A and B are shown apart, each in its own frame.
Chain A
Amino acid sequence: MDTNTASASLTAKDFKSDVKPVWCPGCGDFGVLSSMTKVLAELGLRPENVAVISGIGCSSRIPAYLNCYGFHGVHGRALPLAIGLKVSRPDLTVVVTGGDGDGFSIGGNHFLHACRRNVDLTYIVMDNQVYGMTKGQASPTTEANWAKGKLTPGGPGINPFYPLVIALASGANYIARCSSGDPNGTAKVLAEAIAHPGFSFVQILSPCVTFRPEQREWKKVMRPSPVEPTDDPARAARRLMSDDGLNTGPLYIGSRKPYQPELKASVTDLADLEREFAV
């Protein structure tokens, strides 16, 4: 990581790592990767001041493809890891990335409480409504009648999880939806989300072209929301009641104070820290 050009402005390319993505060609996550490199450059951030934390799944591979600090963590546990990092290093820009299975099923409880706790970080969920890495099972956001999953003949038969509704009800301080088919528009929303204090949640609909090829149609039907975002949770909730899941842009921009505990004296010697964990 080059830290010697502190005064030079970086480009999106500077935030790409040398690791070539192994995603299927056509995957929406490529569009999200493009948005992320663009926004990190546009915000004037330095790679050494950014940490991207993920769980497990296709989309959770994204830290490896970025030139900044990253942690490819345990399935569903990216949020607690990121919260720990942010409260101990509030100077860092912390971004959490993952998919709908990782975030809403395996890590579902962490999602609720991360919204409640309102630590100043940004959570990006690349939602393709399927478990792609394990070859196409229904996920929490899959429609009840999606009949192509081999484990759920006839469809999962249960209501999907509504991420924006849950985020709003649980206290997230910035809530938005984007399309991976519009990387530049998504970059704008991510810039707002990262800059906004508190817990920002951005759902990005990102097609799985292998197991949900019909999702290629998303880019034709998703459109900017016709209404401006609100700071009134009740108004945001009413909008979600008539939302078809295809409106993009920020929905809710709150003003809750982020959670940040007072830091104790920092550890200067690693050996001191190790002694605290001695058994």
Chain B
Amino acid sequence: MSAPESAGSGSKLIATVEDLLAHAREMEAEAAERYDDLADQMEVHNNHEVARLFRKLAAIEAKHIAAVEALGDGLELPELKPWEYAWKNESPEAPEVDEVHYLMTPYHVISIALEHEKQAVDFFDGVVANSTDSRLRETAEHLAEEERGHVRLLEEWLARFPEPDAGWDEDPDPPYMHE
């Protein structure tokens, strides 16, 4: 499993607090949906421990959507099309579809989530670095700090799980689901 490319490169496009919060909302929404999809995949492949963990992460991301919407209370946030996002490819917080394996362990799940929370920090830090608007910078700093909190939490979680031995993904009798 490899980490995707840095997703913070597009943050120069964000010019207003409304733009920023619209992106923050979509960032959390894409992550919540992806974690739910991954939980479904793991349930289908009978990896229930990992499925529960993905489901938990989806629920946490869904709460973050509400938190971002609360920040934007009273503001009219623009509706963005998926191809208008400032980041490259998908939300910095959403794992890519090819980052998973049916034999993956909680260690891998937390590692992936941690990597994407770090990318979210980079994204908001990029907005801070590229803006001179004090209100925009302040909001981006707040969001970056929130994400840094998630990074710290996931680092604590990761410490609870031992790194799996090499060969964790070897299966002499792999499943075949289709027919």
**Cross-chain contact A24 with B97 (CB below 8 angstroms):** no
Q: Quick check: A28 and B97 within 8 Å, CB to CB?
A: yes
Contact between B97 and A30 (Cβ–Cβ < 8 Å)?
A: yes
User: Is B99 in contact with chain A by the CB < 8 A criterion?
Assistant: yes
Interfacial residues of chain B within 1-54, with CB under 8 A of chain A in the complex: 2, 5, 33, 37-38, 40-45
Kindly state whether residue B83 has any CB partner on chain A within 8 Å: yes
A contacts with B, residue count (CB < 8 A): 34
Contact B82 A180 (CB under 8 A): no
Q: Which residues of A contact B174 (CB under 8 A)?
A: 210
- Cβ of A79 within 8 Å of any chain B Cβ, yes or no, is no
Does B160 interact with chain A (Cβ within 8 Å)?
Answer: no
Within 8 A of B (CB), among A183-237: 183-185, 187-188, 207, 209-210, 216, 219-220
Does A209 contact B40, Cβ atoms closer than 8 Å?
A: no
In the assembled complex, the CB of B96 is this many whole angstroms from the nearest CB of chain A, namely: 7
Known: A22-B44, A25-B102, A27-B97. A184 touches B83 (CB 8 A): yes
A25 surroundings in chain B (CB, below 8 A): 38, 41-42, 45, 100-102, 104
A135: which of B38, B101, B176 is its contact (CB, 8 Å)?
B176
Question: How near does chain A come to B157, taking the closest CB pair, in angstroms?
Answer: 21
- Which of B44, B89, B179 sits near A185, CB closer than 8 Å? B89
B-chain residues with CB within 8 Å of residue A187 when the two chains form the complex: 82-83
What residues of A have a CB within 8 angstroms of the CB of B96 in the complex? 31, 181, 219
B85 at the interface (CB under 8 A from A): yes
User: In chain A, what residue has the closest Cβ to B38?
Assistant: A25
Instruction: Tally chain B residues at the interface, Cβ within 8 Å.
Output: 30
Residues from chain A with a CB closer than 8 A to the CB of B176 are 135
| CB neighbours of B83 from chain A (8 A) | 184-185, 187-188
Residues of B contacting A188 with CB < 8 Å? 81-83
Of all chain A residues, which has the CB nearest B2? Answer: A216
| B85 contacts A28, C-beta separation under 8 Å | no
Q: Taking the nearest CB of chain A, how far is it from the CB of B98, in angstroms?
A: 5
**A28 proximity list for chain B (CB < 8 A):** 97-98
Please, which residue of chain B has its CB at the minimum distance from the CB of A11?
B29
Asked if A20 contacts B97 (CB within 8 A), the reply is: no
- For B90, what are the chain A residues with a Cβ–Cβ distance below 8 Å? 182-184
Alpha-carbon separation in the docked complex, A84 to B99 (Å): 40
Interface residues of A (CB under 8 A from B): 12-13, 20-28, 30-31, 34, 38, 42, 58, 61, 133, 135, 180-185, 187-188, 207, 209-210, 216, 219-220
Q: Chain B residues in contact with chain A, CB under 8 A? A: 2, 5, 33, 37-38, 40-45, 81-83, 85, 89-90, 96-102, 104, 174, 176-179
List 26 A-B residue pairs with CB atoms under 8 Å apart, sorted by A's residue number.
Answer: A13-B33, A20-B40, A22-B44, A23-B41, A23-B177, A25-B38, A25-B41, A25-B101, A26-B97, A27-B98, A28-B98, A30-B37, A34-B37, A61-B178, A135-B176, A181-B89, A182-B89, A182-B90, A184-B82, A184-B83, A184-B85, A185-B83, A188-B81, A188-B82, A188-B83, A219-B96
